[in-house]
Structure 1
Amino acid sequence: METGTTLGRSFEIQRRVIGALLMREILTRYGRHNIGFMWLFFEPMLFTLGITLLWSLVKVEHVSNVPIMAFALTGYSSVLVWRNPVNRCNLAVEPNLSLLYHRNVRVIDIFAARILLEVAGATISFIVLAAAFISVGWVKPPHDVLRILEGWFLLIGYATGLGLTIGSLSERSETIDRVWHTITYLTFPLSGAAFMVDWLPQKLQHLATYMPMVNGVEMLREGYFGPPLKFHYDWVYFACVDIVLVLIGLYLAREAGKRVEPQ
């Protein structure tokens, strides 16, 4: 009973700490004026909607028999769910050093709050846009919601591991910040947001799935479009990448917590 009580109390403290950090992050970033915290999901909605409208304006209505609205929605929403959390974890500790003065606040709590916030924003954005597009008849309802959830959660796992890793490394050297932004621009066209693996030459299809996020996007699109389209992914590989990244990220976050000094 004592062990269960201790674990329950620890979980409650952890929940309250991350909850407080979430509220602080929302107020610091979005403030109390205008639409306030609604920018959390309104901002990613604008990005996805802007890309979708841009493709529509250039008269790209269908891409290889795939409706452009649904194609852009699934592609660019998936980018937001793995890119934004990592960007927000990058150099996240230094502005929050004073919070580490409180004995219940750890470096990993700062990362966790930012990851949860960005994932929530991207998820709400995706759901709201999908519901809006479906309601006005611009896209069809998804074929397999369960497969969409599987791909989405694997993308969240990737974002979590990568966010912890990049966030922890950026505290060791600011060079990581510059390198990461360069890597982001380079990986964006390779992430699967703007193409489907089946469109590639057969020799490149297997190579494309070595990019972890491509597997998540393909799963997401399989769940949305279903047959007769063909999709290529390896969810076991993607899950293993997620697990390795999360373990590395947790270790690095622990080391970062030992290195930093609260102010």
Structure 2
Amino acid sequence: MKLIEQHFRVTAALIVREMSTRYGSKPGGYLWAIFDPVAHVAMMTVIFQAIARMPALGLSFPLFFASGYLPFTFYQRMSSFMAGTMKANKTLLSYPVVSPFDAIISRFILQFMTDALVAAMILLMIIEFGGVAMPMYIAGMVQAAGVAAVLGLGIGTINIVMFARFPLYEQIFGIINRPLFMVSGVFFLPETLPNPFRDFILYNPLVHIIMWFRSGIYSEYRADGLDKGYVIEFALVCFALGLMLLTVSTREIREDRL
């Protein structure tokens, strides 16, 4: 019981530290975390309004792009933030009371809370200023965002070890990860693609996450091809693999040999 309480205290202290170092030392702090995605949605809206008369779903361009961009950022920001966990907490890990798992959990909680706050504010702004009035299935959106965050957690935890052991892998991962934004369904509906492209793109778990999130916003969206079980299993396997790699590398991490 004392050990669990100790982990709670360490995690809480690390969250406060991460908040102060990540947001407290930057001009604007949390305001920048909100402005960046708002700017992305606004930019995409302007570009695609000039190309198409109507979005692929509904009547609001900002809402359509937000429905794809927001769940994607739950994965992208989480995986990027988690990959730098050990470097950011290198000095603290020299203390036996602080474990790599504490550092990972603290970063996960902070990033998820930040992304959830940003997503809620962007959607509220679109509803308020865009004149959007439609029922939304909040639980489904939260579930999709949670799975995206766990997927980012798993990939990020794997990359903690892989980036340290294999510098070339970090470059390869960057090349592979970069086009995901374009091929994950942020700008389009995967079910509108012709075969075999449609079947091939459904191997990407982010496609299912975005479809899942969009189905919570648009009640008329059927999300043909959505497989929630596939993406949940994929995320959990990645997280389990990340924990396994981290566990076998704990001593090297503490001794700064990675």
Deviation per CA, 1:43-98, whole angstroms, max 9, x where unpaired? 43443344334434x25452234332111101111121001111122243134211
Determine the structure 2 residue equivalent to 1:109: 102
2:162 is the counterpart of 1:166: no
Q: Give unpaired runs (5+ residues) of structure 1.
A: 1-5
189, 200, 215: which one aligns with 2:193: 200
Distance in 2, Cα, partners of 1:49 & 1:253: 39
Does 2:103 align with 1:130?
no
Please, which of 189, 210, 213 is the counterpart of residue 182 of structure 2? 189
> Following TM superposition, by how much is the alpha carbon of 1:173 offset from its aligned partner in structure 2, in angstroms?
2.6
State which of 48, 56, 81 in structure 2 corresponds to 1:64: 56
Q: 1:141 to 1:103 in 2, by over 3 A?
A: farther
- Per-residue CA shift, 1:203-237, capped at 9, x if unaligned? 33332221111111001111111215543310111
Tell whether the 8 Å contact from 1:192 to 1:214 is kept in structure 2 after alignment: yes
Percent identity between the two aligned chains: 20
Question: Which consecutive unaligned segments of at least 5 residues does structure 2 have?
Answer: none
Task: State the distance in 2 between where 1:225 and 1:17 align.
Answer: 41
Equivalent position to 2:242, from 237, 240, 249: 249
Give the match for residue 66 of structure 2.
Answer: 73
Q: Is the 8 A contact 1:44 1:122 kept in 2?
A: no
1:149 aligns with 2:151: no
In the alignment, what sits opposite 1:86? 79
**Which of 177-186 and 216-225 deviates more?**
177-186
- Is 1:35 aligned to 2:35, yes or no? no
Change (3 A) 1:220 1:38: same
- Residue identity in the other structure for 2:113: A
Q: How many residues align?
A: 255
The amino acid of 2:128's aligned partner reads S
Q: Is the 8 A contact 1:88 1:114 kept in 2?
A: yes
**Aligned counterpart in structure 1 of residue 91 of structure 2, from 90, 94, 98:** 98
Q: C-alpha distance in 2, partners of 1:119/1:45?
A: 17
TM-score, normalisation: structure 1: 0.86
So what's the TM-score if we normalise by structure 2?
Answer: 0.87
CA RMSD of the aligned region, Å?
2.3
Aligned residue number for residue 173 of structure 2:
180
